[in-house]
Amino acid sequence: MKLILIILIALFSTNIFADDERKCINETGFVDDKFNFSKTIKFEDPENTLIFMFHHGGAADKASKSDCVFTEKYIKNAIKLTKEDFGTKYSYLYVVNTKPLYGDAYKDRKNKTKWKAFPVGEYPGKTKIEKKIDLINEINENFYSQGIKPKNIIMTGQSNGGYASLLYTARHPDKVRGAIAYHPACCGKLTKYDIATEKGRKKWLKNENWKCPIKEKGKYPCAEAFWIFRSKIIDEIQSNKNLKAVVIHNNDDPYDGEHSEWLKEIKTIKFIETPGKKDNWKINGKSCKSWTPFGHHVNSSPCMSEYFPEIVKYFK
């Protein structure tokens, strides 16, 4: 009896594992509406093909292989968006896994968890987001070689992936049609720590998540470096006065929620504010909740489709 029970448990566990694997993608490539994955596809009509390149969120500089990068739930709305009429015959979602990348500040390349010691505010080498930009260039060049036009590539991404999408589009406006940034964020829960105040900023800089080897007593070089890094990114994105982008935002987002006002200063951006606490997280009866923290994953919620018409109109 015990043997039968063990076998049944093993079979049940295997089925669950298989189902989880089916619903989890940890590679770079194309995903269709059945959640089927392909590393490459043959374009029937490249000049009449639109590609949405999706970049996931994650820590600003860390590398990881353990997380499930693209779950069906996470990118289902990104897939649905490709079915809208953007003026091309074919549309595809291309997901980019940058989890294995790490910034040059990491010393332990095996565990990818230890920081190098460096002077406060002076990041050693390339950050992870800069390596993402390099990777995007490689991917785009490959698409161009297959006949895809720059005007038929739209950068998309959530959280840190949203930041990368905006930065790439601001830096290379001639290489893509534009960007869709879902809750763009960088460098931790800025809203939670209220960095607009000196007290909040100091608390954020001393957060235990930022502890790393130091060269100046009482300082957190990682936090200072990313504070400077974030400021430089904002300056570069703002320098493009004709930035073509849609920003999906939520003021209750604990990351950059209350600290994304600078995006509104770029007049060419379509800034979409989604329902928060005061609206009971709903629009037209549809919930904007996905998973915690609420406000940071509206892109994966049932209400996201309410904003498709605005996005389509902007890019057509």
Question: Would you kindly state where each structural domain of the chain is located, as residue ranges?
Answer: 27-315
pTM comes to: 0.89
Helix (H) or strand (E) holding 270: strand 270-273
pLDDT for 293 equals: 92
Closest by CA position to 253, among listed 223, 297, 284 = 297
Partners of residue 247 on adjacent β-strands? 181, 271
Fold of 27-315: Rossmann fold (3.40.50)
Q: What is the DSSP letter of 89?
A: S
Q: Band of the pLDDT at 20, cuts 50, 70, 90?
A: very low
d(C-alpha 171, C-alpha 236), whole Å:
8
Closest by CA position to 296, among listed 248, 230, 232, 241 = 248
- pLDDT tens for residues 21-70? 447 899 999 999 999 999 999 999 999 999 999 999 987 776 666 678 99
Interhelix angle 308-315/72-81, nearest 10 degrees: 50
pLDDT for 109 equals: 60
User: How many residues are present in the chain?
Assistant: 316
Task: Please report, for residues 41, 84, 255, 269, 273, the alpha-carbon distance to residue 307 in angstroms, rounded to integers and kept in the order given.
Answer: 29, 12, 22, 15, 10
d(C-alpha 290, C-alpha 215), whole Å:
42
